[in-house]
């Protein structure tokens, strides 16, 4: 049987390993994360490398990728090797150990394990990918604080249900929201995700706006803003 993959316009992501497949959260963060040319980037918990590959397509950057799960890390390495992007390195290790390398970055991105209020899966790969068993929000912000340069930025996505946990952890470690995107699935549905760009500098009220994925209850009836955000990646747009 052929290995499952998701085909984007400029690269392919094989995703038979790592806990979960190419999904909306990763695509949103990879397409939105405010990187710029020349950035040194760190992707914490890269999974199969989706976000890093999207960022590498969007800007001239160097990317380090950390993944604790060896199966997912190997698949991320394969995806990078098969892509047309260079200057990307995958590390199969815990972020707590990676911090000891003493490297710092202009930009850190993470689609973290965030289901702290649900029962962890018995599958260890899914557990590492989706639950806060291996990486709690407060520990994530502590590590990122050490990994960021003084003027660095940290972009993260998390569910609305985890808002207080993530924001309290950020505040404890001296992070301030610079940009916030409130993500809604459809009109008349509650907010499901927040994407936040944090810095260590308090600039007052963050720039904040709503973002709608689909413009109606019809499946795949995507909003213009979703199409605009993802048009450089999805074959359908």
The answer to whether the predicted template modeling score (pTM) of the entire model surpasses 0.85 is: yes
Give the pLDDT band (50/70/90) at residue 19: low
Beta strands, E only, the chain: 5-7, 12-14, 40-44, 62-66, 88-91, 105-110, 148-159, 176-184, 193-199, 207-212
Which letter does DSSP use for residue 206 in this model?
Answer: P
In this structure, is residue 235 part of a structural domain? Answer: no
In this structure, is residue 236 part of a structural domain? Answer: no
What is the pLDDT at residue 135? 80
What is the pLDDT at residue 113? 76
pLDDT score of 33 more than 60: yes
Domain of 40? 5-230
In this structure, is residue 62 part of a structural domain? Answer: yes
pLDDT score of 66 more than 80: yes
pLDDT score of 213 more than 50: yes
Q: Average pLDDT in the 159-178 region?
A: 95
Give the pLDDT band (50/70/90) at residue 153: very high
In this structure, is residue 195 part of a structural domain? Answer: yes
SS3 state at 194: strand
- Residue 60 sits in a domain whose CATH number is 3.40.50.150
In this structure, is residue 192 part of a structural domain? Answer: yes
In this structure, is residue 76 part of a structural domain? Answer: yes
Q: Do 123 and 15 contact (CB within 8 A), yes or no?
A: no
In this structure, is residue 122 part of a structural domain? Answer: yes
Domain count of the fold of the chain: 1
Which letter does DSSP use for residue 214 in this model?
Answer: B
pLDDT score of 128 more than 90: no
In this structure, is residue 237 part of a structural domain? Answer: no
| Nearest-angstrom CA–CA distance, 216 and 61 | 37
């Amino acid at each position: 049987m052929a290995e499952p993959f998701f085909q984007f316009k400029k690269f392919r992501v094989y995703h038979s390993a790592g806990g979960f497949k190419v999904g909306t959260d990763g695509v949103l963060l990879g397409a939105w994360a405010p990187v710029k040319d020349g950035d040194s980037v760190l992707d914490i918990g890269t999974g199969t490398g989706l976000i890093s590959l999207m960022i590498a397509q969007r800007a001239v950057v160097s990317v380090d990728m950390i993944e604790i799960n060896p199966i997912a890390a190997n698949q991320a390495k394969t995806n990078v090797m098969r892509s047309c992007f260079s200057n990307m390195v995958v590390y199969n290790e815990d972020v707590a150990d990676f911090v000891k390398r003493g490297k710092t970055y202009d930009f850190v991105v993470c689609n973290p394990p965030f289901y702290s209020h649900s029962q962890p899966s018995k599958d260890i790969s899914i557990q590492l990918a989706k639950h806060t068993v291996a990486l709690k929000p407060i520990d994530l912000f502590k590590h990122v604080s050490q990994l960021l340069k003084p003027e660095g930025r940290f972009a993260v996505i998390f569910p609305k249900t985890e808002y207080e946990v993530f924001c309290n952890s950020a505040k404890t470690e001296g992070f301030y929201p610079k940009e916030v995107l409130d993500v809604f699935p459809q009109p008349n549905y509650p907010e499901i995700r927040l994407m936040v760009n944090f810095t260590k500098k308090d600039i007052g009220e963050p720039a904040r706006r709503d973002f709608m994925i689909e413009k109606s209850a019809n499946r795949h009836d995507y909003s213009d803003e979703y199409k605009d955000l993802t048009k450089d990646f999805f074959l359908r747009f």
